[in-house]
A and B are shown apart, each in its own frame.
Chain A
Amino acid sequence: MDLESLYQEVVIDHNRHPRNFGRLEPADRSAEGHNPLCGDDLLLTLRLERERISEMRFEGQGCAISTASASLMSEAVQGLELRAACTLLERFLKRVTDPAAEASPELGKLEALAGVRKFPGRVKCATLCWHTLKAALNGGERNVSTE
Chain B
Amino acid sequence: MSSVARQPVAEGFDVERLRGDFPLLTRRVHDHPLVYLDNAATTQKPETVLRTLDDYYRNTNSNVHRGVHYLSELASAAYEQAREQLCALVNAASEREILFLRGTTEAINLVAGSYGGACLRPGDEVLITEMEHHANIVPWQLLRDRCGIRLRWVPINEHGDLIWEEYERFLEGPVRLVALTHLSNSLGTINPLRRVIQTAHAHGAVVLVDGAQAVPHLPVDVRALDCDFYAFSGHKMFGPTGIGVLYGRESLLEKMPPWQGGGDMIKAVSMEQTTFNDLPAKFEAGTPHIAGAIGLGRSAEFLAGLDRAAVLLHEQQLLESALAACKEIPGLRVIGEPHARGGLFSFVLEGVHAHDLGTFLDHRGIAVRTGHHCCMPVMRHFKIPATTRVSFALYNTLEEVQILARALLEAQRFFH
Q: How many residues of B contact A (CB 8 A)?
A: 19
- The answer to whether B371 touches A39 (Cβ under 8 A) is yes
B145 CB-CB contact with A under 8 Å: no
Contact with B along A2-21 (1 / 0, CB 8 A): 11001100001001100000
Closest to A122 in B: B359
Shortest CB distance B138–A (Å): 14
User: Are B371 and A63 in contact (CB-based, < 8 A)?
Assistant: no
B363 touches A61 (CB 8 A): no
User: Judging by beta carbons under 8 Å apart, are B359 and A6 in contact?
Assistant: yes
Can you name the residue of chain A whose Cβ is closest to the Cβ of B379?
Answer: A39
CA distance A7 to B371 in the complex (A): 20
Q: Please count the residue pairs between chain A and chain B whose beta carbons lie under 8 angstroms apart in the complex.
A: 48
Contact flag A63-B363 (CB < 8 Å), given A38-B371, A39-B385, A41-B385: no
The answer to whether B359 and A39 have CB atoms under 8 Å apart is no
Return the contact of B353 from the options A6, A62, A121 (Cβ within 8 A): A62
Contact of B363 among A3, A38, A40, A122 (CB under 8 A): A3
Report yes or no: B355 in contact with A63, Cβ–Cβ below 8 A. Answer: yes
Query: A107 an interface residue at 8 Å Cβ cutoff?
Result: no
A100: Cβ under 8 A from any B Cβ: no
Task: Give Cα A75–Cα B398 distance, bound, in whole angstroms.
Answer: 47
Q: Select B386's contact among A2, A38, A64, A121, beta carbons within 8 Å.
A: A38
A119–B362 alpha-carbon span in the complex (Å)? 11
Which residues of A have CB within 8 Å of B363? 2-3
Question: Closest chain B residue to A15 by CB distance?
Answer: B415
- Complex: chain B residue closest to A60, CB-CB: B385
- Shortest beta-carbon distance from B389 to chain A in Å: 13
**Chain A at the B interface: SS class:** mixed
Partner of B355, one of A1, A2, A12, A38: A38
**What is the minimal beta-carbon distance from B30 to any residue of chain A, in angstroms?**
8
Which of A16, A61, A64 is the one whose CB lies under 8 Å from B385?
A: A61
How far, in whole Å, are A37 and B353 apart by their CA atoms in the complex?
13
**Which of chain B's residues have a CB closer than 8 A to the CB of A7?**
356, 414-415
Contact with A along B328-365 (1 / 0, CB 8 A): 00000000000000000000000001111001100100
With a cutoff of 8 Å between Cβ atoms, the chain B residues found around residue A2 in the complex are: 363
Q: Evaluate contact between B414 and A63: CB separation under 8 angstroms.
A: no
Question: Is A72 at the interface (CB under 8 A from chain B)?
Answer: no
B372 at interface by CB-CB < 8 Å? yes
**What are 13 contact pairs spanning A and B, CB under 8 A?**
A3-B360, A7-B414, A15-B415, A36-B372, A36-B376, A37-B371, A38-B355, A39-B371, A39-B384, A61-B385, A63-B356, A64-B353, A64-B356
Please give 16 more A-B residue pairs, beta carbons under 8 A apart, in addition to A16-B416, A122-B355: A1-B30, A3-B363, A38-B353, A38-B371, A38-B385, A39-B372, A39-B379, A39-B384, A39-B385, A41-B385, A61-B385, A63-B356, A64-B353, A65-B356, A119-B359, A122-B359
